[in-house]
Amino acid sequence: MVTETDRQAQRLVGVLGGMGPLATVDFLRKLVIATPAACDQDHIALVVRFCPEVPDRDAAVFGHGISPEPMLVRAALALRQAGAQVLAIPCNTAHFWHDAIVKASGLPILHIADAALAAVPTDLSDAIGLIATRGTLAGAIYQRRMPQAAWVVPAEEEVTRLVMPGIRAVKSGRIDEASELLGAATELLIGRGAQVVLMACTEVPVALAGHSFRVPMVDPTEALAKACVRWALQPSAPAPRQDPAAPAAEPVFRESPVFDCKRR
């Protein structure tokens, strides 16, 4: 239960969401569940910017279409103006613009990859499977946060045939189809030796809810939600670490089809 002292010391979390809409709702639900609350007043304060109009992140990583950076920055600035003291972005691929958002807004970001990797059992970190968009994989959004890990990632053909169609299916409300596709992609990673699998696109936990696999599954959406609760309720919590000293993220796959959210 949250005490009156805790409530007065709470900090305001800004959620830069809508990418995609159902995934953000899933994040907010998990944040509420993660909060140690006995009544409405015990819950943490949030300001949410729901931005489904942000241009396609996956295509932009490869230089296709309109860059989402200006719109992400404007949304972050609006959250700051509304009083947010820290940002949470329940979209993995959007973290490709992490540094630009932090620099322009002046707000720290609770990095979804840091939250997820902290939830990986240390004895299973030798072979981490990653189900993610082509942009998240190519931008090394997770790999750069834990470069010492052995990463098991989908083959390009599997991304094209299973992962991206599964993510698009969630965005268009075809959850059963998404579950089948993303479940198959997960089994392929496990078959190649993944000891634990990160569901590193916020649509993936929506599709795989209720699935059972023979290795642990880490939900970055849930991990980020818990990180937000800790940040809001613990004023002494350390500031989110920023990207380690490393070259700016560059996509690994230079040639990639444009991600069309309407293409099945």
pLDDT tens, position by position, 151-194: 999 999 999 999 999 999 999 999 999 999 999 999 999 999 99
- Model pLDDT, residue 247: 38
- Model pLDDT, residue 257: 33
- Model pLDDT, residue 5: 55
Catalytic residue among 39, 51, 91, 228: 91
Is 91 marked active-site?
A: yes
- Model pLDDT, residue 124: 74
- Model pLDDT, residue 115: 98
Residue 43 pLDDT exceeds 90: yes
Is 228 marked active-site?
A: no
Strands laid side by side in the 46-50 sheet: 46-50, 13-17, 86-88, 109-110
16: Cβ contacts below 8 Å, ≥ 6 apart: 49, 51, 72, 75, 76, 79, 87, 88, 89, 94, 101
- Segment (H or E) for 204: helix 204-208
pLDDT tier at 7, thresholds 50, 70, 90: low
Residue 254 pLDDT exceeds 90: no
Q: What is the arithmetic mean of pLDDT over 230-240?
A: 79
- C-alpha dist (Å) from residue 234 to 109, 137, 238: 16, 33, 9
Catalytic residue among 51, 201, 228, 261: 201
Residue 6 pLDDT exceeds 80: no
